[in-house]
């Protein structure tokens, strides 16, 4: 399950990320002057390797230059997305006591469960982040390709909501299928055999999150929906019902990402950045909901299984780009980030006297 790498914003507009990187930006405002690439991925279903390789070159270019892109013609039934967002609206409209039965603090080393509204303020802004969320982890019993469907899952499901669990997991299963195909495309993009990563995604890291962002009335200086961050795993597939996502480009400008009906936004996350030795870009992003209405979103976090050793890919290391990161397993990195993130939140909350 995913967590995000949260940043602290100082008056000098420097983002100091939990993953050790620092990034600056020139303005807190966002623009539509730049955009992220849009890629038709229907070729992932082509029987012709040349078609899949051509798609891989497009995805590889976007992954190297900005780390974000929109995909169309992906083959996923979008009614599953609608069902999930409908369940999100019902869950977040329920009583706080009901939601707190599955509070994420009950599982300190996992990021699953409920994350309350205005609970976090990791950059020390005037106001708390304006969102609430619910996360759930991969469940092998819902994955037809899992080597052992009886593997126990690590989750906190709310009681007396069977339709909630059923519909969220149905969408998750569909995205697992898409993610496995995209994983093969990424292998080709790195000039590896198409099946190079197959063994790492038989029992993957494949958690999801539903989010509710109320309409924001405070200034973007005083408050974010969710603060600037990067994701943890290999890549993320994002579903959203309205504007609000903003991406920090290489020109250090915030770009507004407008959702296209029937499409997904995909972004590179930190484990892939580490394995590619910074060849793939894990780009800072945030959400600020200035639409005037509630915003709902559902990111799907895809990564290699937790026993995977994150050694750098050979083609991404040379004299000009020496190895940048210590080697660890995906599980060790995930636990380090989860613990660090939750500890940071608690510390800053206590520091502010809340």
Domains and CATH numbers, the chain: 4-351 (2.60.120.330)
Give dist(CA 98, CA 200) in Å, integer: 37
Dihedral sign from CA coordinates of 25, 27, 32, 33: negative
**Residue 7: strand pairing partners:** 17
Across all residues in the chain, what is the average pLDDT? 90
- Residues 43, 49, 53, 55: what is their CA dihedral angle, to the nearest 10 degrees? 0
Q: How many residues make up the chain in this entry?
A: 354
Under 8 Å between Cβ of 289 and 215: yes
Q: What is the pLDDT of residue 119?
A: 82
The residues, ordered by sequence, that sit 6+ positions from 47 with a Cβ below 8 Å of its Cβ are none
With H, G, I as helix, E, B as strand and everything else as coil, classify residue 17. Answer: strand
For the chain, percent of residues with pLDDT exceeding 90 = 74
Scanning the structure block, which residue is given the tokens 């559902």? 298
Q: Would you place residue 305 in the very low, low, confident or very high pLDDT band (cuts 50, 70, 90)?
A: very high
Scanning the structure block, which residue is given the tokens 């613990």? 339
Q: What is the pLDDT of residues 315-349, one digit of tens each?
A: 999 999 999 999 999 999 988 887 777 666 554 45
DSSP state of 39: E
Q: Would you place residue 120 in the very low, low, confident or very high pLDDT band (cuts 50, 70, 90)?
A: confident
pTM (two decimals): 0.92
Q: Would you place residue 10 in the very low, low, confident or very high pLDDT band (cuts 50, 70, 90)?
A: very low
Q: Would you place residue 176 in the very low, low, confident or very high pLDDT band (cuts 50, 70, 90)?
A: very high
Q: What is the pLDDT of residues 223-271, one digit of tens each?
A: 999 988 899 999 999 999 999 999 998 888 899 999 899 999 999 999 9
Q: What is the pLDDT of residue 343?
A: 66
Q: What is the pLDDT of residue 213?
A: 98
Q: At what angle do helices 49-65 and 162-189 cross, to 10 degrees?
A: 100
pLDDT at 278 over 60: yes
Q: What is the pLDDT of residue 217?
A: 95
Helix or strand holding residue 205 (H, E): strand 205-213
With H, G, I as helix, E, B as strand and everything else as coil, classify residue 155. Answer: coil
Burial class (CB in 10 A: 0-12, 13-18, 19+), 292: exposed
Q: What is the pLDDT of residue 125?
A: 78
Mean pLDDT of 85-96: 97
Taking each continuous run of H as one helix and of E as one strand, the counts in the chain are: 6, 16
**Taking the mean position of all CA atoms in its chain, how far away is CA 243?**
17
Torsion angles phi and psi, residue 337, rounded to 5: -70, -40
Give dist(CA 147, CA 140) in Å, integer: 8
pLDDT at 4 over 80: no
pLDDT at 353 over 50: no
Under 8 Å between Cβ of 247 and 26: no
Under 8 Å between Cβ of 104 and 136: no
Q: Give the end-to-end CA distance of the chain in Å, rounded to a whole number.
A: 28
pLDDT at 214 over 70: yes
């Amino acid at each position: 399950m995913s967590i995000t790498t949260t940043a602290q914003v100082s008056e000098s507009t420097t983002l100091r990320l939990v993953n050790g990187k620092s990034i600056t930006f020139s303005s807190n405002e966002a623009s539509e002057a730049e955009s992220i690439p849009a890629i038709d991925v229907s070729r992932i279903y082509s029987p012709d390797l040349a078609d899949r390789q051509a798609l891989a070159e497009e995805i590889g270019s976007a992954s190297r230059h900005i780390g974000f892109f929109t995909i169309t013609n992906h083959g996923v039934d979008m009614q599953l997305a609608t069902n999930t967002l409908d369940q999100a609206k019902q869950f977040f409209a329920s009583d706080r006591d009901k939601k707190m039965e599955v509070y994420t603090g009950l599982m300190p080393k996992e990021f699953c469960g409920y994350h309350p509204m205005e609970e976090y303020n990791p950059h020390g802004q005037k106001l708390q982040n304006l969102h609430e969320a619910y996360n759930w982890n991969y469940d092998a019993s819902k994955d037809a390709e899992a080597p052992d469907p009886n593997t126990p899952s690590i989750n906190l499901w709310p009681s007396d909501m069977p339709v909630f669990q059923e519909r969220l997991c149905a969408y998750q299963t569909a995205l697992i299928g898409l993610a496995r195909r995209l994983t093969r495309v990424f292998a080709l993009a790195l000039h590896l055999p198409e099946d190079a990563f197959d063994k790492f995604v038989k029992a993957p890291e494949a958690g999801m999150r539903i989010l509710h962002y109320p309409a924001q009335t405070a200034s973007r200086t005083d408050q974010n929906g969710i603060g600037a961050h990067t994701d943890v795993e290999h890549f993320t597939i994002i579903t959203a019902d309205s504007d609000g996502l903003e991406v920090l480009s290489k020109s250090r400008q915030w770009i507004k990402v407008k959702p296209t009906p029937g499409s997904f936004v995909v972004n590179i996350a930190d484990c892939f950045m580490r394995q590619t030795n910074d060849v793939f870009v894990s780009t800072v992003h945030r959400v600020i909901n200035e639409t005037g209405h509630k915003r709902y979103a559902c990111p799907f976090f895809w990564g290699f299984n937790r026993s995977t050793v994150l050694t750098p890919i050979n083609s991404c290391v040379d004299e000009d780009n020496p190895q940048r990161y210590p080697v660890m397993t995906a599980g060790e990195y995930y636990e380090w980030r989860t613990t660090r993130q939750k500890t940071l939140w608690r510390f800053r909350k206590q520091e502010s006297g809340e």
